[in-house]
């Protein structure tokens, strides 16, 4: 059952928290996703079995959290992640970000700094407001118009709002070194037709960290949600936790 945490400005963020000791895994969902997904649930259940903490959350305007999705930005959501980490957890953190959540993972880690003991990116998509839109789409967003795209997974069309796009452009990371030095594990499907697997290799080069591993999953699509792929995520998370404990 989700609880809510109130930020000073009145935003109420839905979350689930388990465990009372050890490092805390924080799962950051992708664009228009929430904490009920298979990867989030699997990490939460593994944390319960292993006895370490795990925090799941829905960004404002997403899932069970209050707010309007059109107001959502990376800056706003990174602020929420950092606020809940500070209010609800102590000790080292392992941030796990899926797709857009992989970009948000980096931005939140830059805010949380020394508390972050590890990062796991699942098809991370930093800077996708730049490389993920053609010039005509970028011009439409720059004019303040919402862009609607067909959803690849059978859901209603997916909006990109001008506020989110502009904030994303202001938060691009791949053009310079990224000042994060904790261990990083990047998992990426070689059949990903949303975020190219080469992006994880580019991210690995940009990170200041030296302990960086990129795992390419043959045949893996963008979601990396098959039982075997979720098992890979759980092994990766367990190994990082063991190295910290």
Please state, in angstroms and rounded to a whole number, the distance separating the CA atoms of residues 116 and 25: 10
* Amino acid 156: pLDDT: 85
Q: Is 192 a catalytic residue?
A: yes
DSSP 194: S
Query: How much is the pLDDT for 1?
Result: 80
* 115: nearest Cα among 26, 192, 238, 201: 26
Nearest to 202 by CA among 223, 173, 224, 230: 173
Range of the domain at 123: 3-244
Considering the candidates 52, 161, 188, 222, report the single residue annotated as catalytic: 222
Q: What is the pTM of this model?
A: 0.97
What is the CA angle 226-229-234, rounded to 5? 120
What CATH number does residue 145 fall under? Answer: 3.40.50.1820
Instruction: Classify residue 13 by burial, with Cβ atoms within 10 Å: 0-12, 13-18, 19+.
Output: buried
The tokens describing 160, both together, are 């990109």
The count of structural domains within the chain is 1
DSSP string of 29-66, one letter each residue? --TT--TTSHHHHHHHHHHHHHT-EEEEE--TTSTTS-
Cβ(106)–Cβ(173) below 8 Å: yes
Q: Is 222 one of the annotated active-site residues of the chain?
A: yes
* Catalytic-labelled residue, pool 34, 58, 127, 192: 192
Q: Which residues pair with 27 in a beta bridge?
A: 56, 96
Pick the catalytic residue from 33, 65, 99, 200.
99
Instruction: Give a three-class secondary structure readout of 61-100.
Output: CCCCCCCCHHHCCHHHHHHHHHHHHHHHCCCCEEEEEECH
pLDDT score of 245: 65
- Please check whether residue 100 is in contact with residue 128, taking contact to mean a CB–CB distance below 8 angstroms: yes
| Ordered per-residue pLDDT tens for the chain, 245 residues | 899 999 999 999 999 999 988 899 999 999 999 999 999 999 999 999 999 999 999 999 999 999 999 999 999 999 999 999 999 999 999 999 999 999 999 999 999 999 999 999 999 999 999 999 999 999 999 999 999 998 876 678 999 999 999 999 999 999 999 999 999 999 999 999 999 999 999 999 999 999 999 999 999 999 999 999 999 999 999 999 999 96
């Amino acid at each position: 059952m989700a609880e809510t945490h109130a930020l000073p400005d009145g935003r109420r963020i839905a979350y689930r928290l388990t465990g009372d000791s050890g490092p805390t895994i924080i799962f950051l969902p992708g664009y228009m996703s929430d904490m009920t997904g298979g990867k989030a649930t699997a990490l939460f259940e593994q944390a319960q079995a292993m006895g370490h903490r795990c925090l799941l959350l829905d960004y404002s305007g997403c899932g069970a959290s209050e707010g309007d999705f059109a107001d959502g930005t990376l800056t706003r959501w990174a602020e929420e992640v950092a606020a809940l980490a500070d209010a609800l957890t102590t000790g080292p953190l392992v941030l796990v970000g899926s797709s857009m959540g992989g970009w948000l993972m980096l931005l939140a880690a830059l805010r949380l700094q020394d508390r972050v003991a590890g990062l796991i990116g699942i098809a991370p998509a930093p800077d996708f407001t730049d490389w993920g839109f053609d010039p005509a789409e970028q011009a439409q967003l720059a004019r303040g118009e919402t862009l609607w795209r067909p959803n690849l997974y059978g859901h209603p069309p997916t909006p990109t709002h001008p506020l989110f796009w502009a904030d994303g452009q202001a938060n691009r990371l791949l053009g310079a070194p990224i000042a994060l030095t904790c261990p990083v594990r990047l998992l990426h499907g070689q059949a990903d037709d949303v975020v190219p697997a080469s992006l994880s290799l580019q991210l690995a080069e940009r990170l200041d960290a030296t302990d960086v591993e990129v795992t390419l999953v043959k045949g893996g699509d963008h979601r990396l949600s098959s039982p075997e792929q979720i098992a890979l995520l759980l092994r990766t998370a367990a190994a990082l936790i063991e190295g910290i404990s």
